[in-house]
Amino acid sequence: MYTASENGKSSSTSASSERQRLEIEGEPDLISGSLDEWRAYRQGLSSLPQEDENVRVAIAVADARIARLNSDR
């Protein structure tokens, strides 16, 4: 399971363009996380705002880990 909460403001040159970034928790362990855990985590990430940089990074990590675990089978 994961949680996402708004945390802090991104650096910006204009006050009107400041926005919140999501803080994502619950990422499976990189070494011991199972394929099912990573798939569930990735599924949950898909419901979050895709324009958020933290979400995009978390998705990239999850996709890479899922690919690696699939290739190790």
38 falls within a domain: yes
The count of structural domains within the chain is 1
Residue from 40, 42, 44, 54 nearest 6 by CA = 54
Instruction: Show the domain range for 59.
Output: 27-73
Residues counted in the chain? 73
pTM here is 0.74
Is 66 domain-assigned?
yes
The pLDDT tens digits for 15-30 are 334 567 788 999 999 9
For residues 28 and 34, what is the distance between their CA atoms, to the nearest angstrom?
8
Residue pLDDT, tens place only, 39-59: 999 999 999 999 999 999 999
Say yes or no to pLDDT of 14 above 60. no
Q: Are 56 and 50 in contact (CB under 8 A)?
A: yes
Residue 7 maps to a domain: no
Q: By percentage, how much of the chain surpasses pLDDT 90?
A: 63
